Structure 1
Amino acid sequence: MSKITHKMYVDGQWVESSDGQAITVLNPSNEQVVGYAPQGTRDDAKAALQSSAVAQIEWARLPAQKRAEYVAALADKLEEQGETFAQMVTEEQGKLLTDARGEVAGSVGFLRYAAESARRIEGEITTSENANEQIWIQRVPYGVTVGLLAWNYPLALAARKLGNALVTGNSMVLMPPADTPLTVLEFGKLVEQVGIPKGVVNIVSGLGTEVGDELVRNPITKLVTLTGSSEVGSILYRSASENITALNLELGGKAPFIVMDDIDVDEVVELAVQSGFGNCGQICTSNERMYIHETIYDEFMAKFIDKVKALKVGLPTDETVDVGPKVNAREIDNLIGHVEKAKAAGATIACGGGKPTGELFKQGYWFEPTVITNVTNDMAIMKEEVFGPIVAAMPVTGLEQALQFANDIDLGLSGYIYSKDVRTIMKAVNELEVGEIYVNRPNGELLNGFHTGFKRSGIGGEDGKYGLEGYLQKKTVYFNYG
């Protein structure tokens, strides 16, 4: 694809940054320039918020079903241009093309589910202690909302947040991730094409320290929804406190992958590899730390390491490839740091552990699929989110120890349990301190579930009817008709 210079979408117009600065977007496979995005300013963010505030009033007055028609049309447009968007995702993010097609399909699904939810926005009527009176609980939009997106699934996250925000009567300012802004800006063209009124959707690209900070701190903003790291979430939490702005935070994870001794080893090994190395490990629900029953540990790990060694690293456009590049050089340095810290603590690098060799890998941001063993649960590799193709593993004496180790952490997004014993499964379901549990299956949320985290993994959540409710606040009416 040719290099593209994008503009931001503000108040129905395509504009450059007010100071003329731009972000250069590189292809993670070869470090070649993919295109350019405006590096917006605080003034650009303010303009977008002001536009959203004006537009939201009339948007909220539309019937929910009418708003849904726009969102459904957006889904249709995206589906029509799906291959173009998949290639854009692959080029700027490094995601395997097959996975990028899945991201586009998922984005279409998010929009369609949101559109279908228009008839599900409900309130309640309850009795009053007073004569001739009813109490109404209405669900109403917040007003101006802000969607801050992560680089690992830029298009899907835009669709996931925007669909629900619009159907519920909010306007939204989207801030694309600085590493992967182009697909989201291109998505803005579809917003324009389907005729969503100007100002209802604004897209401002830039840096979190300037554009993101303004969007969060500005009193016009009534709800901020972020997908990002726990560290960024903590900063945002403090910033939003100035105006008591509502927050919906989906933050980092360090998923425990618990395997008991009554399972089919070969089957679960496949699921462990799939859940650990999909999207180069750049998924918040990835298998990052495994607790394997000691009676099957040696067999399981031998087969697991063999499978990991067999993973093919290469160009994401090659459909025979299993693992593509990381998104940027900073992420590679972070992975190297995790490996070195683990080695210094006494862990063993069972396979991988660095950059692959060969002509293909001289340019780009590559890292070998890596397995780390001989760990203890107090090591950083078992506590800190890696967000890359690294999985650490240790044996456990049984479920009690696995649960103890799994919960001994300040993150709680997701977890896995593999067993054929329903009592074992239910104990894990009841005691794992996470918001999402995968039982005898790989990771991957569904549209009508609820994706949420405990502890420092966030507040609020996305998907399903509870995700929709996250974009609505409650208004109580005491209606006296006497």
Structure 2
Amino acid sequence: MLDERNIDLIALGREVFVNGSWSQEGATGSLLVDNPATGEVISETPDGGAGMAEAALAAARAAAPGWAMTPAIERGRAVQALAKAVRDNAETYARIITAEQGKPIGQARGEVAACAEFLSHAASGARRISGDIVASDNRNEEIHIRRHPYGVVVALTAWNYPAALAGRKAGPALVAGNTLVLMSHELTPLSGLFLARLAEQVGLPAGVFNVVTGRGPTLGAALVSSPETDLVTMTGSLRAGRDIYAAGAADLKVLRLELGGKAPFIVMEDADIDAAVDAAVAARFTNCGQICTCNERMYLHRAIADSFLERFVAKTRALTMDDPMQNPDLGPKISAVEVDKVAAMVAAGRAAGDEVLLAGGPRHDGAFAQGHWYAPTVLESRDAQSPLLRDEIFGPVISALRVDGFDEAVALANASRFGLSAYLFTEDRHRLMRAPAALKFGELYLNRSNGEQVQGFHTGWRHSGLGGEDGAYGFDGYFRKQTAYSTWA
């Protein structure tokens, strides 16, 4: 496993970063951080409450006017310096992610690269902050529309990509001129604290970037409900999103929520089957299936279903699951609770009549005697209402359903409360052209696997969230707009 002698994880987790200094102010206790591959405690972090939230928000509020008045190009250079520090410390950062989250080290390195790219791309937008001058109906008057930072942004990150999500939110928020309080998820707090160390190293002004740790119902609720918070950006579950929606309602908080997903993977009879299988396996099992845009349910044209499933099961069976520092295809699940949740969902699917094509399931034997392991599992559903086709799994389990045509597949895909991502494999140009109008999802992957790009726009429809991230559209969400009627008569 990870040689933790080279990374002092105990010291890293000891204090939070508020107003440019490290302390335990506002802690009500401590949270244990375990290694999902071994179950061993590797660190502990402060369990913050209302006092920690107040201190962090006060620091961010005090720093907000000066940061907003700092020229955008200087803010961009500061964030670009942070991106460089992430790249310079990439291996250490990747090892921290693997230690606390469990993803294979190669995937952790990819996550660190994504964190740096999110920061760097946001920094490049500093000179593109603009407004508009609109013609007035009156003589000697212009209408000026300006962009202003909101002020204090609270960012809540999920445990599946703790570093990448921090970079995705921190970069545009800071370049736009906001100050930030980042709350790292309680299961993966070390990634956020390491980013705080890098922010301190590059000299971000005190109070501009703060990182706190604690639980959602206590620290998170205090951050969201505080009148000092102007905007909340959160990635997490639908349940957590609803809690934040309710907590922010009294103060009419501006919310950006990326929530759950139940991405359909549609394969038509004319598709490149080998390419579709490769994409379907990657989109389901990367990060042990713990990605909101994962392939969560497959709709296969009846004419190719047998061929597709034969190849899909064979390729899935060949996936390796091992010590994540050995860079297998799959590492462990994040927690024992998550293992039990996935096992219960498979049991519900089987009770509904789903046929097991590849039996994986929880592993507690041999090298997997410790930690939180779940082997890849493939099923075929007979009923479109199977729980495995309806509810988000967020693990290395997938079920498939046979369909008779494109229209049926689209109707089944859209019959979901979630609307984050969808996949389509077909060589039919007319279907590809129809897909963006027909599929009611914020993000489509047409003849390719998942993986959004920083210049795109990552957004969910329906219960998958509000707002979005990335690119020009995501950047614009960190500004409020002001209209000034300027008369010189």
Give the TM-score normalised by the residue count of structure 1. 0.98
Corresponding residue of 1:56: 64
1:342 to 340, 344, 349: 349
RMSD after superposition: 1.0
1:367 partnered with 2:363: no
Corresponding residue for 1:205? 213
- Alpha carbons 2:333, 2:373 under 8 Å: kept: yes
Q: How many residues align?
A: 481
Does the CA contact (< 8 Å) of 1:260 and 1:292 recur in 2?
Answer: yes
Paired letter, 1:467: G
Which shifted more, 216-225 or 374-383? 374-383
Question: AA paired with 1:457?
Answer: S
The amino acid across from 1:163 in the alignment is G
Tell me the alpha carbon deviations over residues 335-384 of structure 1, each in whole angstroms, 9 at most, x when there is no partner.
Answer: 01101111111111211241135311110000010111133211211111
Give distance in 1, aligned partners of 2:266 and 2:454: 25
What is the match of residue 236 of structure 1? 244
Report the counterpart of residue 245 of structure 1 in structure 2: 253
Indicate whether 1:407 and 2:401 are aligned: no
Letter in 1 for 2:46: P
**Secondary structure at the residue paired with 1:196?**
coil
Determine which of 300, 305, 311 is the counterpart of 1:303.
311
- Deviations along 1:219-257, one digit per CA (max 9) or x if unpaired, are 110100000111111111111111001001111100000
Q: In the aligned structure 2, how far is the partner of 1:97 from the partner of 1:157?
A: 18
Alpha-carbon distance in 1 for matches of 2:19, 2:326? 40
| Residue identity matched to 2:325 | T
Between stretches 134-143 and 32-41, larger displacement belongs to: 32-41
In structure 2, what is the Cα distance between the partners aligned to 1:349 and 1:203?
Answer: 44
Which SS does the other structure have where 1:147 is aligned? strand
Partner of 1:100: helix, strand, or coil? helix
Structure 2: how far apart are the matches of 1:395 and 1:317?
38
- Contact preservation (8 Å) 2:460, 2:468: yes
Say whether 1:139 aligns with 2:147: yes
> Is the CA contact 1:339–1:353 (under 8 Å) kept in the aligned structure 2?
no
Query: Aligned partners of 2:286 and 2:56: how far apart in 1?
Result: 36
**Cα pair 2:268 2:405 within 8 Å, conserved:** yes
Distance in 2 between residues matched to 1:269 and 1:251, nearest whole Å: 27
CA-to-aligned-CA distance 1:93-126 (integer Å, 9 cap, x gap): 0011000000011111011101100011111100
Provide the residue aligned with 1:11 in structure 2.
Answer: 19
2:179 to 131, 154, 171: 171
> Is the partner of 2:124 in helix, strand or coil?
helix
Question: Runs of 5+ in structure 1 lacking a partner?
Answer: none
Task: Please state how far the C-alpha of 1:263 moved relative to its aligned partner.
Answer: 1.4
Displacement, 1:19?
Answer: 4.2
Aligned residue number for residue 130 of structure 1: 138
From 435, 448, 460, the equivalent of 2:442 is: 435
Question: Is the CA contact (8 Å cut-off) linking 1:144 and 1:223 kept in structure 2?
Answer: yes
Q: Please tell me whether the aligned partners of residues 26 and 53 of structure 2 are also in contact (alpha carbons under 8 angstroms).
A: no
Which residues in structure 2 correspond to 1:310-329 (within 5 Å)?
A: 310-319=318-327, 321-329=328-336
2-structure distance, mates of 1:21, 1:374: 46
Do the aligned partners of 1:375 and 1:392 also contact (CA within 8 Å) in 2? Answer: no
Quote the Cα distance in structure 2 between the aligned partners of 1:17 and 1:293: 58
Which residues in structure 2 correspond to 1:59-458 (within 5 Å)?
Answer: 59-319=67-327, 321-356=328-363, 358-458=365-465
After TM superposition, the runs of 4+ consecutive aligned structure 1 residues lying more than 2 A away are: 17-20
Q: Give the whole-Å Cα distance in 2 for the aligned partners of 1:361 and 1:17.
A: 39
Q: Corresponding residue for 2:42?
A: 34
Residues 311, 322 of structure 1: 8 Å contact kept: yes
Task: Return the offset for 1:17.
Answer: 4.8
Q: Tell me which amino acid in the other structure corresponds to 2:301.
A: H
Aligned partner of residue 39 in structure 1, secondary structure: strand
- Give, in whole Å, the separation in 2 of the partners of 1:68 and 1:296: 50
Q: For residues 170 and 191 of structure 1, what CA distance do their matches in structure 2 show? A: 15
For residues 227 and 96 of structure 1, the distance between their equivalents in structure 2, rounded to whole angstroms, comes to 22
Determine helix, strand or coil for the equivalent of 2:450: coil
AA matched with 2:488: Y
| Residue identity (%) | 45
Is the contact between residue 258 and residue 460 of structure 2 (CA under 8 Å) also seen in structure 1? yes
